[in-house]
Each structure stands twice: as structure tokens, then as C-alpha cells.
Amino acid sequence: MISPAWSVFLIGTKIGLFLQVAPLSVMAKPCPSVCRCDAGFIYCNDRFLTSIPTGIPEDATTLYLQNNQINNAGIPSDLKNLLKVERIYLYHNSLDEFPTNLPKYVKELHLQENNIRTITYDSLSKIPYLEELHLDDNSVSAVSIEEGAFRDSNYLRLLFLSRNHLSTIPWGLPRTIEELRLDDNRISTISSPSLQGLTSLKRLVLDGNLLNNHGLGDKVFFNLVNLTELSLVRNSLTAAPVNLPGTNLRKLYLQDNHINRVPPNAFSYLRQLYRLDMSNNNLSNLPQGIFDDLDNITQLILRNNPWYCGCKMKWVRDWLQSLPVKVNVRGLMCQAPEKVRGMAIKDLNAELFDCKDNPVVSTIQITTGTPNTVHPAQGQWPAPVTKQPDPKNPKLAKDQRTTGIPARKTIIITVKSVTSDTIHISWKLVLPMTALRLSWLKLDHSPAFGSITETIVTGERSEYLVTALEPDSPYRVCMVPMETSNLYLFDETPVCIETETAPLRMYNPTTTLNREQEKEPYKNPNLPLAAIIGGAVALVTIALLALVCWYVHRNGSLFSRNCAYSKGRRRKDDYAEAGTKKDNSILEIRETSFQMLPISSEPISKEEFVIHTIFPPNGMNLYKNNHSESSSNRSYRDSGIPDSDHSHS
């Protein structure tokens, strides 16, 4: 039974319809018989049409022609006489070429899901007032865009070419463009000139392409002074892009790449940046101060990265703790080392970073005793994370003493020749370390035959006596930090120094004593070498410790390599975050609409309407779409463009 309230509603609606329909039927404006025309809105969509019907009224402003089988031959030449048409929906048809004969003043052209391959000047110049061109899901390639095709398109603000066959950004796009979407093409390179003139560009979407850091020109984005949003999701970047235009950039999306390095200047000057997303990358650490210029950052999303919470990341904790509440940071969760896995960086105690509050130091100093004293230049900081190969058999000139990068490491070595076969090595550590590997190598004329002797010393020690050396010979002494927990702080580049044993005539027959010293802890407090020389037991212990450390270290790095880096399938939401999914601006349905269907084919009488809603308020679609493949991100489908007739009241 129909409830009283419902019948009142029905009656009321019928009266309303009667009042509206009566004058329309009296006026009987022309309308193609297969279509429905309503105050400039012409509904010819979803009708298996192979051509655009003739007889479209001259006051037409919007043509709904989507979901048909219209091909290029099916576009009548008198279509161009419809001078009031501003919007044409021709998506999901059978067009092979860019359509011609379009109404001259069309502003908005929806051509998605056809098979259009070419874009020519000839077709575009006839619709010079075009502002929005939707060409997603076609077959456009870079070479099939005629040179200068856009040269008369001086009003084009929006160009969507998602899911085409582009291998690069087309040249000669109009300077008026404000939004350019090129996601899910095959773009692998962007040369600087291609974006050069697009100073009006505000939104650039390049998701799902093949871009790596080599394919991006040095300053490709630099001139885009009006750019507010840049999206490079789902590419193959290994480092965050640099030289971004800071004047207006507010949103930067870098999710789903392979980024394992953020250059120290990557976010310089991005003072307007409001949202930065680097989720699903391969980041284990961040250079100190990387976010310092981001005055306006409010959303920083860094989920699913293999964060290694070593000393190098301690600054992040301090930074997080100093942030104002309005800043929303997500995803800074330690993945390694094991002892802090799963903990939020912000919550870690300072000790857990294993750097005991020492500042990161940017110099190396190597000091020799007599005769050499070397103070290498200040390392430039911050330096990119570069692992340098450990020089196994170094042939360094005498004056080239530093090996490895001049950053972060501070071991000051002093070497003194005690006797002709003994040298005394002492060192100072600016950062605390748990252990160091000390090695010495006789520098022969043929270094390939030299054998390296090495030992492990604990971090508490500061001296070591090397005995049984050859007299009057050059030696190279190196020290390498053997950190277990701070492996990102210290690279394994040794700090080295060269020295010479004294000539034989200075031979001092205390050699035996010195050899003894190496076996037993030296007890005599008067000797300068007291308490330096570890006994054999100590050595074994240290070696064991080192082994354990090495094992943990290995596990640690294995872990960080494997740790939960899964590309996986992207959630739809990510796509929405990237801003490429929904564009409600295409068409908004402002109110619940009604559809009118005559029950019989008899002339319509006011009594014989069924009324039901087309657009239920919860957004659910009552009409199944025969054409659409399994749910896709086709914005023009999701955005409320009617797939069936609907009335504008």
C-alpha cells in the first residue's frame, strides 16, 4: 500500500509536472526523434547511434552523445552551424580521428574512450575557443600530434591526455594551459623545452609513466612559476626531483616510486608547499634539515618506507617534536634496526638512536705525528648518501691521504715511529664508536703483494702499538668504524695515514719486550703505552664481538632491504590523493533529478508518468553501464554525467 505521505508527494509531483510539461508540449520545439531535448540540453546518449542525428535545435548548448557508436563519418557537416553549443560529450564512441565540423564556439569537448590517433591544426583551428579538451583513453602518440596543432588554441586551459601512447610531452602546447594530465602514458623523458613556455600551468599530472631521474631534464619544471600541483606518482624515480618551482607549488606527489635518496636541496625554497607525499618509496633516511624551507607544510606523508632509525635520523625526531600541531606527519615509523622496529620515530628516546647526542660532524682530520700533519678541507655538507668502494689495495700518492668522502667521519690518527720495527698509533674519535678496525700495510713497490694485517679495537681505546714491522719501510695505517647500529652514519671508508718505521741504526733491542706487550696487558703505568695493548684474550673477545656485530649488521641490512617494500596494488584512494581520479567540476548534479517515462506509447497524458530518481542521494548508480569495463578511474564516468536522460528542472 502507498503511504499517505507518499501519495501526497506523488500527487504534488504530478501537478508540478503537469504544469511544466504542458507549455513545453504546446511549443513543440524541433528535436531529433531519437533524442530528447530540454532547454538547450540535447540527450542523444546511450542509443547505439552510429551518427549524430540531424535536426538538433539551434538553441542547443550541450550535446550528450556519449556511449554510442558514432564514427567520424557520422558527424554531419551542419553540426558546425550550432553556434550556441558550448559542451559536447562524445566519450565512448568509435571516432578514429579528431572530429571535424564541430560547432565553432565549443568550449568543452569530451572525447574520451575513442580511438583518436591524430590531433591536427586543421581540426583544432576550427574550434578556437576551446577551453577544455578531454582526450583520455585514446591512441594519441607524440608524433601524431601535428606540429603547431595548438597554435590557434588560445583559450585552452585544460588538456587531458591520460592513458594514451605518449612517449614524451607534446611540443607546442598553448601557453594558456593551466592543467595538463598525462598520466598512464609511456613518457620516459621530458626535455626542458617541452614545458618551457607553460608558465600558466598550475596542475601537472604525470603519474604512471616511465620516468626516472635520467629522463627528467635538469630544470624541466623550473620555469613553471604558477605550478601549484605536481604529481609524479607511479614512476621509476630513485631520487626526489630537484629544481622545482617554489613560487606557487603547494602539492607535490611522489608516491610509488623507488626513491631512496632525497638530494639535500630537493625541497629548497618550496615555501608554499602544503602537502608532500613520498609514501611507498625506498627511503631509509633523510638528510638533515631537508624540510627546513617548507614553511607552509601541513601534510607530510611518508608511509611505507624502510626507515632506518640510526643516528642519521635522530634529527627527524627532534624536528618532529618541535613541529606545531597543525602539521600532520604520517608514516615515520622505524623499520630497522630490529630493536626499534615498529616504533614511531617521534617517540624514540634519544639513546635509541645510538649517537649519544653528538652533533653530526662534517670534517675529517687526519693528523700524523712527525712528519706529516694533514687537515683536509671541510667536507661539503649535507652530502648525498654515496657509498664509495672500500679501496682494498690503495695506491695513494703521499700527499693524498684522505680516502672516501669528506663527511661525517671524524677519526684523528697520530702515528709515531717508536723503533725500527714498532710504531705507536693513537687516535681520537669525535663520535663515540663501539669498535674500529685497525689495519696496516707495508707499502712496497708492488703493492699487490703487500698483505694487510688488521685487528679490531674497541671504541674505548685510543692507542695501539704495532710491532714486528720491517725497519725503514713505509706503512699505511687505516682505521674504519665498525658500527653495528649506526651503519648509516658511518660509511666504511677508511681513514688512512702513512708513516715510516725508523731506520735500522736506530734499532732498539727492546723488540722482545714489545712483542711481549702484545701478548699481555702492559702493566707499568710509567710507560706511555700502558693499558693500550690488548691481550690475546681481549683480542679474541673483540673479534667475537666484531663477528656478532657483523652478523647483526648483515641481518640489519638484509632486513632493511626486504622490509616491507611492496609495491602492491595501489588503492584507489592513492589515486584520488594524486588528484587524478575525480573531477567533479566536469558536471555537477546539484539536485536529485527525475526521469519521466511514458507507460504506453500513446500520446502522453498527465496521468501516465512513473517517477523515479536517477541520482540517488548516496551516489549509488541505479543504472548499470553496459560499456564500462570493471571499475576504472575514468573520471568522466564517475563524475555524474548522466548515462541516461535526465531533466534539468
Q: Considering beta carbons, is residue 90 or 173 the nearer one to ligand NAG?
A: 173
By CB under 6 A, tell whether 271 contacts ligand NAG: yes
Q: Three-state SS across 374-436?
A: ECCCCCCCCCCCCCCCCCCCCCCCCCCCCCCCCCCCCEEEEEEEEECCEEEEEEEECCCCCEE
Q: What cell does 477 get?
A: 695505517
Report the distance separating Cα 583 and Cα 635, nearest Å: 6
By CB under 6 A, tell whether 139 contacts ligand NAG: no
By CB under 6 A, tell whether 565 contacts ligand NAG: yes
Q: What cell does 335 get?
A: 623499520
Tell me the closest approach of the beta carbon of residue 567 to ligand NAG, in angstroms.
8
Looking at residues 175 to 234 of the shown chain, list those that interact with ligand NAG (rule: CB under 6 A).
199-200, 225-226
Q: Considering beta carbons, is residue 103 or 246 the nearer one to ligand NAG?
A: 246
Q: Considering beta carbons, is residue 225 or 443 the nearer one to ligand NAG?
A: 225
Q: Which of 167, 260, 458, 557 binds ligand NAG (CB under 6 A)?
A: 260
Tell me the closest approach of the beta carbon of residue 237 to ligand NAG, in angstroms.
10
Contact by Cβ (8 Å): 522, 530: yes
Q: Considering beta carbons, is residue 161 or 259 the nearer one to ligand NAG?
A: 259
Q: Which of 296, 400, 632, 649 binds ligand NAG (CB under 6 A)?
A: 296
Q: Which of 258, 424, 461, 637 binds ligand NAG (CB under 6 A)?
A: 258
Report the distance separating Cα 268 and Cα 246, nearest Å: 8
Residue 613's H or E segment, with its range, is strand 609-613
- In three-state secondary structure terms, 340 is helix
- In three-state secondary structure terms, 21 is helix
Report the distance separating Cα 523 and Cα 594, nearest Å: 100
Q: How many residues bind ligand NAG (CB under 6 A)?
A: 12
Tell me the closest approach of the beta carbon of residue 448 to ligand NAG, in angstroms.
31
Do strands 179-181 and 158-160 pair parallel, antiparallel, or not at all (unpaired)? parallel
Report the distance separating Cα 185 and Cα 426, nearest Å: 60
Report the distance separating Cα 266 and Cα 542, nearest Å: 42
Q: What cell does 489 get?
A: 652514519
Tell me the closest approach of the beta carbon of residue 645 to ligand NAG, in angstroms.
38
The alpha-helical segments, DSSP class H, found in 223-332 are 314-322
Tell me the closest approach of the beta carbon of residue 607 to ligand NAG, in angstroms.
55
Tell me the closest approach of the beta carbon of residue 258 to ligand NAG, in angstroms.
4
Q: Considering beta carbons, is residue 139 or 236 the nearer one to ligand NAG?
A: 236
Tell me the closest approach of the beta carbon of residue 411 to ligand NAG, in angstroms.
25
Beta bridge partners of 464: 425
Q: Considering beta carbons, is residue 118 or 304 the nearer one to ligand NAG?
A: 304
Contact by Cβ (8 Å): 171, 147: yes
Q: Which residue has the cell 630497522?
A: 336
Q: Considering beta carbons, is residue 177 or 333 the nearer one to ligand NAG?
A: 177
Tell me the closest approach of the beta carbon of residue 294 to ligand NAG, in angstroms.
9
- In three-state secondary structure terms, 191 is coil
Query: Euclidean distance between the first and final Cα of the chain, in Å?
Result: 29
Q: Considering beta carbons, is residue 295 or 516 the nearer one to ligand NAG?
A: 295
Tell me the closest approach of the beta carbon of residue 491 to ligand NAG, in angstroms.
13
By CB under 6 A, tell whether 17 contacts ligand NAG: no
Do strands 453-458 and 158-160 pair parallel, antiparallel, or not at all (unpaired)? unpaired
Q: Considering beta carbons, is residue 103 or 263 the nearer one to ligand NAG?
A: 263
- In three-state secondary structure terms, 314 is helix
Q: Considering beta carbons, is residue 95 or 224 the nearer one to ligand NAG?
A: 224
Tell me the closest approach of the beta carbon of residue 283 to ligand NAG, in angstroms.
9
Q: How many CA atoms lie within 13 A of 32 on its CB side?
A: 21
Tell me the closest approach of the beta carbon of residue 406 to ligand NAG, in angstroms.
21
Q: Considering beta carbons, is residue 142 or 210 the nearer one to ligand NAG?
A: 210
Which residues, in sequence order, are CB contacts of 483 under 8 Å at separation 6+?
Answer: 354, 433, 434, 435, 489, 490
Q: Considering beta carbons, is residue 20 or 247 the nearer one to ligand NAG?
A: 247
Q: Which of 61, 236, 282, 367 binds ligand NAG (CB under 6 A)?
A: 282
Contact by Cβ (8 Å): 440, 497: no
Q: Considering beta carbons, is residue 303 or 442 the nearer one to ligand NAG?
A: 303
Contacts 24+ apart (CB under 8 A), 566-569: 566/304, 567/256, 567/280
By CB under 6 A, tell whether 327 contacts ligand NAG: no
Tell me the closest approach of the beta carbon of residue 361 to ligand NAG, in angstroms.
23
By CB under 6 A, tell whether 416 contacts ligand NAG: no
By CB under 6 A, tell whether 236 contacts ligand NAG: no
Q: Which of 122, 292, 295, 520 binds ligand NAG (CB under 6 A)?
A: 295
Residue type, 608: E
Tell me the closest approach of the beta carbon of residue 280 to ligand NAG, in angstroms.
10
Quick one: DSSP state of residue 521? -
By CB under 6 A, tell whether 570 contacts ligand NAG: no
Quick one: DSSP state of residue 579? T
By CB under 6 A, tell whether 155 contacts ligand NAG: no
Classify the C-alpha dihedral 339-343-348-353 as positive or negative: positive
Q: Which of 125, 265, 272, 628 binds ligand NAG (CB under 6 A)?
A: 272
* Residues near ligand NAG, by CB under 6 A: 199-200, 225-226, 258, 260, 271-272, 282, 295-296, 565
